[in-house]
Amino acid sequence: MGIDLSTPAVPKASIDNPQYSVIGEASVNHQIVLSLYDLTGKMVLPWHQAGYTCMIVDIQHPRGVSKTEDRLYKIGVDILEWIPPLEDYRIVFSFSPCNDMAVSGARWFQDKGLSALASGIALFSRGKDIGQWSRAPWMAEHPVSTISSYYRKADYIFSPHEFDGYTQEDNNYTKKTCIWHGNGFKIPSIKKPSQNPDNRIHRMPPSKDRANLRSATPMGFANAVFVANEIETVIAA
């Protein structure tokens, strides 16, 4: 058994009426790790390697549900029209698009208009609401943006270079990033912050993939969150 591949998108999704889905994977951990607005899957990688079944949801994935490898599902859907399966979630991540809300693009806010603002708020809110509904620890990520004005101040702010010690990937760069969280999500400890981090994200040249490249999750942060919310939680228990 697996996720129902035939489930259609629901025009007006409600987290009060979730889809039912049975994941019959033979996995070490039977809880599900859910990552929303996630194209790369980097955030769930350590959880997947630890034996969890992972679902990464993004409108840029092929439409529907595809199983790319054991215990890893890609779901291509508009999250505003998607009802999350009723599962036992271990943790939920949300990386809603920041195109119309990041303060780095404030000079274009007026040209984009109110509909762009409303869309950005709706996407963020949807991710946050799904996380809260899941009853699992959750976090919603966004760069410095106007979300703080419409929701509340971020619970935590970090830059990728602060977690460079958790990965062999080069995360020696700055990108001020905000985190909102709930349901017992644990903030990771800084490890071996790099000296003299560069500014590659802000200096990235224009390209069709620029938005995706700029928003890719730094592996150090992904690993650090896993350590704080899985390994250290198990040790503490």
**Under CATH, which number does the domain 32-236 receive?**
3.40.50
CA dihedral sign, ordered 34, 208, 213, 156: negative
Please tell me the predicted confidence (pLDDT) of residue 117: 73
Backbone angles phi, psi at 88, to 5 degrees: -90, 100
Please tell me the predicted confidence (pLDDT) of residue 64: 92
Please tell me the predicted confidence (pLDDT) of residue 235: 74
Report the C-alpha gap between 62 and 22 in whole angstroms. Answer: 21
Q: Per the structure block, which two tokens stand in for 180?
A: 């909102």
Report the C-alpha gap between 111 and 82 in whole angstroms. Answer: 29
Per-residue pLDDT tens digits of the chain, which is 237 residues long = 343 333 333 334 555 555 545 455 545 578 999 999 999 999 999 999 999 999 999 999 999 999 878 899 999 999 999 999 999 999 999 999 876 444 444 443 455 455 667 788 889 999 999 999 999 999 999 987 678 788 889 999 999 999 999 999 989 888 889 999 999 999 999 998 778 888 766 665 566 654 555 567 999 999 999 999 998 877 765
* 23 burial via Cβ count (<10 Å: 0-12, 13-18, 19+): middle
Please tell me the predicted confidence (pLDDT) of residue 57: 97
Please tell me the predicted confidence (pLDDT) of residue 3: 39
Q: Report pTM.
A: 0.81
Please tell me the predicted confidence (pLDDT) of residue 150: 81
Tell me the one-letter amino acid at 231: I
Please tell me the predicted confidence (pLDDT) of residue 193: 77
- Looking at the DSSP bridge assignments, the partners of residue 33 are 54, 91
Please tell me the predicted confidence (pLDDT) of residue 148: 79
